């Protein structure tokens, strides 16, 4: 059997659990895929039971994983998660920041947004990522290598209706570029992924509950907006993009904002 793409690597996935609903979320899919490719995975989520479920699925496939409870609103909890991976496996090769909220956090148009909702979404989506990077970068610098993958969103560049999510995900792209150039000499890479319309529990089921619509209605409306086959992507599409960026195949790739969007980002003037 040939070597796997992440053999002998360790990964911390922040947001490895998922919201209630059908199918698989981006974090869980990435944890499973990384483990299938040989990585040891620390599944971090504020919902420990959900993180444990992800880890159990990894174990069920013969992979190695552990679950850890951490809320991204707490810098101390994020630092503890990073330290857990380092203590358990001796190194951290990959940090995958997958946490994000929008409608669930009270996001709205700029004329309707409340200060509390804006602050919460920015703290979860942006500050959490910054703080996780703060604590992993010194470890990666000392190792002389590492890959940071931040999940932004196509909302960063498209005409998106709600203000806080767009602001946070746009800022994440700039932050990723900043840490990429500032850590390049240490051999540490940083890249962002911009998912478009993806069929996940957070994206579809959360909206269906918030809007009082069926899941099928929300999914159909989202499918119709996707240029490529009029069908949303899946969490596996995002996970495979992350796998590439985490692997040695992307050893010369840093500071990139990779769209995984079925053509959504180039659907201009339609």
Q: Is residue 239 situated within a structural domain?
A: yes
Which domain does 195 fall in, by range? 10-199+234-259
Q: Is residue 219 situated within a structural domain?
A: no
pLDDT digits (tens, 9 = 90+) for 212-243: 999 999 999 999 999 999 999 999 999 999 99
Q: Write down the pLDDT at residue 91.
A: 98
165 is catalytic: yes
Q: Is residue 2 situated within a structural domain?
A: no
Q: How confident is the model at residue 2 (pLDDT cuts 50, 70, 90)?
A: low
| Least confident window among 64-68, 102-106, 120-124, 163-167 | 102-106
Is 1 a residue whose pLDDT tops 60?
no
Q: What is the CATH number of the domain that holds 130?
A: 3.40.50.720
List strand residue ranges (DSSP E) for the chain, in order: 10-14, 40-45, 64-69, 94-97, 146-151, 188-195, 257-260
Instruction: Determine what percent of the chain falls in helix, strand and coil, rounding each to the nearest 5.
Output: 50, 15, 35
Half-sphere exposure of 168 (CA within 13 A, CB side): 26
Q: Is residue 247 situated within a structural domain?
A: yes
**Which one of the listed residues 160, 165, 240, 244 is annotated catalytic?**
165
Q: Is residue 165 situated within a structural domain?
A: yes
Q: How confident is the model at residue 270 (pLDDT cuts 50, 70, 90)?
A: low
The number of folded domains in the chain is 1
Is 206 a residue whose pLDDT tops 90?
no
Report the candidate in 156, 125, 175 with the shortest Cα–Cα distance to residue 265.
156
Is 171 a residue whose pLDDT tops 60?
yes
Is 20 a residue whose pLDDT tops 80?
yes
pLDDT digits (tens, 9 = 90+) for 23-45: 899 999 999 999 999 999 999 99
pLDDT digits (tens, 9 = 90+) for 125-165: 999 999 999 999 999 999 999 999 999 999 999 999 999 99
Q: Is residue 131 situated within a structural domain?
A: yes
Q: Is residue 192 situated within a structural domain?
A: yes
Q: How confident is the model at residue 267 (pLDDT cuts 50, 70, 90)?
A: very high
Q: Write down the pLDDT at residue 211.
A: 84
pTM for this predicted structure: 0.96
pLDDT digits (tens, 9 = 90+) for 39-84: 999 999 999 999 999 999 999 999 999 999 999 999 999 999 999 9
171 to 94, 166, 214: CA distances (angstroms)? 21, 8, 32
Average pLDDT of every residue of the chain: 95
CB 27 within 8 A of CB 15: yes
Write down the residue that tokens 């552990």 correspond to. 66
Q: Is residue 87 situated within a structural domain?
A: yes
């Amino acid at each position: 059997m040939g070597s796997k793409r992440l053999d002998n690597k360790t990964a911390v996935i922040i947001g490895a659990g998922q919201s209630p609903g059908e199918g698989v979320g981006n974090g869980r899919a990435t944890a499973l895929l990384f483990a299938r490719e040989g990585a040891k995975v620390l599944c971090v989520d504020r919902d420990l039971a959900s993180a444990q479920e992800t880890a159990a699925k990894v174990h069920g496939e013969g992979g190695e994983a552990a679950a850890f409870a951490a809320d991204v609103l707490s810098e101390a909890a994020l630092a503890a998660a990073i330290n857990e991976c380092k203590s358990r496996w001796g190194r951290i090769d990959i940090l995958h920041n997958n946490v994000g909220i929008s409608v669930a956090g009270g996001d709205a148009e700029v004329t309707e947004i409340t200060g509390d909702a804006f602050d919460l979404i920015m703290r979860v989506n942006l500050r959490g990522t910054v703080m996780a990077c703060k604590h992993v970068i010194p470890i990666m610098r000392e190792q002389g290598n590492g890959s940071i993958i931040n999940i932004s969103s196509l909302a960063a560049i498209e005409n998106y209706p709600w203000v806080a999510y767009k602001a946070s995900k746009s800022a994440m792209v700039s932050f990723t570029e900043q840490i990429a150039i500032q850590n390049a000499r240490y051999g540490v890479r940083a890249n962002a992924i911009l998912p478009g319309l993806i069929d996940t529990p957070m994206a579809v089921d959360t909206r269906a509950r918030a809007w009082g619509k069926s899941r099928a209605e929300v999914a159909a409306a989202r499918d119709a907006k996707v240029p490529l086959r009029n069908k949303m992507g899946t969490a596996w599409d995002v996970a495979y993009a992350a796998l590439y960026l985490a692997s040695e195949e992307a050893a010369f790739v840093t500071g990139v904002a990779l769209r995984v969007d079925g053509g959504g980002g180039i659907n201009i003037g339609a």
